[in-house]
Structure 1
Amino acid sequence: MQLESLYDETRKWFFLMPPIFGPLQFLFDAPFGRFSPSNDSIFLVDGIKAWIVMELVSPITFITVLYRGPYAAPLSAMSTPQVILTSLFMIHYLNRALISPLQTPSRSKSHIVVPLSASMFNLANGALMGTYLSSPAASAFLAGALSRPSFWAGITLWACGFAGNILHDEVLLDIRRKSKAKGKRSENKLGKEHYAIPHGYLYRYISYPNYFCEWSEWFGYALAAAPFPALMPLTETMRTIQPPWLFLWAEVLLMIARAYKGHQWYHKNFPEYPKERKAVVPFIF
């Protein structure tokens, strides 16, 4: 009962915190990547190692809670839709936490506050997602899901978003590979990256297609995994909204400011930057 109470309390705060901290990011630059601090501070950590550590928190917590949490059950007791959704979550983080960063030739240093705050977010999110997927609520919703069109529409959207995320990240990685080959990174004594204007695919329309594709990915996942949130009073919404939708909610609110700030940075640093591009949503924002 204590674990169930902790689950409900965490779910409530996971709903409330993004609308508070998300807008605050419009006021300052998150100290990593292109906005990494320019001083050689002891609080700066290796960008690739920090990324791997903070992203591994989510799948490790997810698996731990899935099998040791308040609704823990053996793999044999999980339905096929539950196994599919568990696999998709782990595939995403296998790429995000290991494959992608290990393919990255270099990454700007990050202020220690970034991996620490991201680890806290991933700890909560991994616990919520693992608890939900093993819960009676998930079992009830996913009963008969294999014959439900919305389930397969969600899985398809997840796959398209996942593929799009990898595709557009590869465009950025290619810029880094070429700059490293030309020795441009060595020109910066503080270890910051060389940046250039990305082109191709959805970069024709927006500055951050990798963000847009990740939102599409998790929208599809939520569509397949949980009932669509109903319009209710705030207190009732906090009690009923399920973690897959909470994850999407938090991602959009916490990432949209970073996309906007990065979009402004491109325009400031590249006078020839395409004027028709939006920040993160094609033709809209």
Structure 2
Amino acid sequence: MTWYTGNTAYDTVLTVGFGFAAFVLIGGLFGQSPYGRFATAKLGLNLNPKLGWWLMEIPATVVFLFCYLSGPNRFEPTSLVLASIWLLHYANRGWFFPLSIRQVPGKRGSFNISVLGMGMFVTMLHGYLNGTLFSHDYLGQYGTDWLTDPRFLIGLVIYLSGFALLVSSESIVRNLRDKNDPGATEYKIPFGGGFRFVTSPTYLGELIAWSGFAILTWALPGVVILLITAGNLIPRAFATHRWYREKFADYPAERKALIPYVI
């Protein structure tokens, strides 16, 4: 992977991205992002989760499309395929996921404004780096032959495997809460699918998907988002695992935190 593209603005933003990834990796060692079960009111305003997730993820779609459609290669076959993979991910993450959250009626907001701010920064950064790269092809590697390159094909299989695990795991969690009576029980132990092996298959799916994305694009923006995702989700997976074990006396003893049969 080449570091510099030769475009000063792009390379500067990419450098900022790696700097922020380092910040997240270090910060993850000291605490969890304050949303969901780790929400806190100490850092100011908390939002409704549906609104918070949607506002945080929407820049990924908007910024990506703006940057992508402004590039000279926007109608090239490989660029269109890469853009489709991107839009598939954020159709789920930015639209379907937040709008399908089943909330306990009357529950206080659990999505902290600090998470929204940092999340919007990441999704704008992510959208700019990839939308611009796909439609400008600074590295000169996205000709039609890229679609048969082993790196693209292997990365695509890895990405789709992770995405499938992510979506199926989110569905299991969502269906723990009856849509006709979402306030009946706030938390339950999830079973089936990836939950047979780990506490956080959604996090594992996200990590696998972005690993595949970094390979199929073979470019540093994919590495940036993988590092940011890892810095956020890996510590959170272990904290979630501890939380379930403390909350439920009958939590499956054989279930690992993040990697099946390992940890």
Counterpart check, 1:259 vs 2:234: no
Contact 1:219 1:248 in 2 (8 A): yes
Q: In the alignment, is residue 219 of structure 1 matched against residue 211 of structure 2?
A: yes
Match for residue 137 of structure 2?
136
SS in 2 for 1:75: coil
The equivalent residue for 2:256 is: 278
Q: How does 1:71-220 map to 2 (within 5 A)?
A: 72-73=71-72, 75-76=74-75, 78=76, 80-106=77-103, 109-177=110-178, 181=181, 183-184=183-184, 194-220=186-212
Q: Secondary structure at the match of 2:252?
A: coil
Which 5+ residue runs of structure 2 have no aligned equivalent? Answer: 1-5
The Cα of 1:114 is off from its aligned counterpart by: 1.0
2:175 match: secondary structure: helix
More helix by share: 1
- Aligned partners of 1:22 and 1:255 also within 8 Å: no
Task: Give the partner amino acid of 2:226.
Answer: L
Could you say what the CA RMSD is over the residues aligned between the two structures, in angstroms?
Answer: 2.3
CA distance in structure 2 between the aligned counterparts of 1:115 and 1:267, rounded to whole angstroms: 28
In structure 2, which of residues 34, 53, 56 is the aligned counterpart of residue 54 of structure 1? 56
Q: What is the aligned-residue identity percentage?
A: 25
Q: Does the 8 Å CA contact 2:176/2:188 hold for their aligned counterparts? A: yes
How far off is 1:4 after superposition?
3.0
Give the TM-score of the pair, scaled to structure 2. 0.87
Query: For 2:11, which of 8, 11, 23 is the aligned residue?
Result: 8
Name the CA distance, whole Å, in 2 between partners of 1:26 and 1:197: 26
* C-alpha contact 1:142 1:225 (8 A) present in aligned 2: no
How far 1:50 moved relative to its partner? 1.1
Alpha-carbon distance, 1:182 to partner: 6.4
- The equivalent position to 2:23 in structure 1, one of 20, 24, 38, is 20
Gaps of 5+ in 1: 186-193, 228-241
CA contact (8 A) 2:73 2:134 kept: no
TM-score, structure 1 normalization:
0.81
